[in-house]
Amino acid sequence: MEAGSIIGSHFSLCVPAGCDTGFGNAAAKHLDSLGLDVFATVLDLKGDGARALRRSCSSRLTLLQVDITQPQQVQQALLDTKAKLGLRAGLWGLVNNAGVCVNLGDAELSLMSNFRGCMEVNFFGTVSVTKSFLPLLRQAKGRIVNISSPAGDQPFPCLAAYGASKAALNLFTETLRHELVPWGVKVSTILPSSYKTAPSSNNAYWEQQHQQLLQSLPPALMEEYGEDYITETKDLFQSFAEHANPDLSPVVDAIVHALLSPQPQARYYAGPGIGLMYFIHSYCPLSISNRFLQKLFVKKTLMPRALRKQSGLEANLSLNNNNEEKLQPL
């Protein structure tokens, strides 16, 4: 679809944070190739991702350095965007792509810093950017596209911190979609399946998260869960990430459709299996949907150490009781 068929030749988009790698980087390149004016924000203007965007994109692309958890940097990005837009009528599209997943296990084992870190980026950062850019979007009667996750709607094992932040984002997005109807601004959520994006595909990243968790856990929790249980979770996450889909095009295509279609969808299920997952979650009994997620995602084989000991004691007690019954005199 040609951008000019909807909003003319001066079509400006902002893709905040996360354009260093992954969906944001791929989307910025593709949107630029469509002839759109793209404001792509990165954490590091001198990083590999920023250099790749400069090499592959046109002079229309504007790179901005933004950490969305820092309000002053968000405001500076807004000022820079306004200056670049000049007299043009607002900003057509805002793509909130930034996201982090700093979690390696059960909710009880997840550090409070993980919960706060996920909320700061995935929820509060997105809210901050959206509120800052909304006047420009209302002026253009434009679009907001938020990249979320099925983990925000469904209880994926070992993703409590990440899932909670995405659940907050999903509700914020849905509320915003209703509130902005009178302003002519359309709001969409994109729910990707599993894709290979940095840093999740980096083995060193998982090892760093693992070591941080081992060093931070209270001794009592370490004793009850066991280091082998925690290590297995890390290995399963790492394996899952390694086998993720490297083709990001379904997500990029969903972003483009949400931005350019005259009638964008409220929700996009981007990738194989997502539609089936939501069907099972919505229409099957809870026991079936929970079992489906457990089989699909982190397939644990170990129980926590304390439960293994308990099972061993119960097995021994059962064996002893059976032996005693056999020895009873007739």
Instruction: Show which residues are catalytic.
Output: 162
Q: Omega of the bond prior to 199 within 30 degrees of 0, cis?
A: yes
- Collapse the DSSP code of 304 into the 3-class scheme (helix H, G, I; strand E, B; otherwise coil) and give the result: coil
Cβ atoms of 237 and 110 within 8 Å: the answer is no
Integer Cα distance of 195 and 192 in angstroms: 8
Integer Cα distance of 173 and 192 in angstroms: 16
Structure tokens at 324: 């005693």
Nearest residue to 22 via CA among 47, 2, 5: 47
CA 157 to chain centroid, in Å, comes to 15
Cβ atoms of 60 and 37 within 8 Å: the answer is yes
Strand order in the sheet with 62-65: 62-65, 37-42, 12-15, 93-96, 143-147, 186-192, 267-270
Integer Cα distance of 179 and 172 in angstroms: 10
Q: How far is CA 105 from CA 120, 233, 235, 315, in A?
A: 20, 6, 11, 28
Integer Cα distance of 96 and 122 in angstroms: 9
Q: How far is CA 169 from CA 28, 49, 102, 146, in A?
A: 22, 26, 17, 8
